[in-house]
Amino acid sequence: MKEKVEAALEKIRPSLQADGGNVELVDVTEDGVVKVKLMGACAGCPMSQMTLKEGIERLLKQEVPEIKEVVSV
């Protein structure tokens, strides 16, 4: 499942990088929780939670239906 998640993140990375940010996959738990680290401009952005939930989490759930939640660490 980790490979699927990484492939899905590659699709959203260009959008984040265009705004000076990025996302790093930290872990995928057996119960479907994806742990990511927001980097660059995303790390301190007040909109980062919305980006995480409405952008990254939504895309990952579409691409990898086994995903239950995405959290920032």
Domain boundaries, the chain: 2-72
21 — alpha (psi -120 to 50), left (phi > 0) or beta? beta
Listed in sequence order, the DSSP H helices in 1-73 are: 2-18, 41-44, 48-50, 58-63
Exposure string of 50-70, with b = 16+ CB inside 10 Å and e = fewer, is ebbeebbbebbbeebeebeeb
Place of tokens 């007040």: 46
Topology of the domain comprising 2-72? GMP Synthetase; Chain A, domain 3 (3.30.300)
- For residue range 36-49, list pLDDT tens digits in order: 999 999 888 888 98
The pTM is what? 0.90
- Count of C-beta atoms within a 10 Å radius of residue 9: 20
pLDDT in tens, 7-60: 999 999 999 999 899 999 999 999 999 999 999 998 888 889 898 999 999 999
pLDDT at 61 over 90: yes
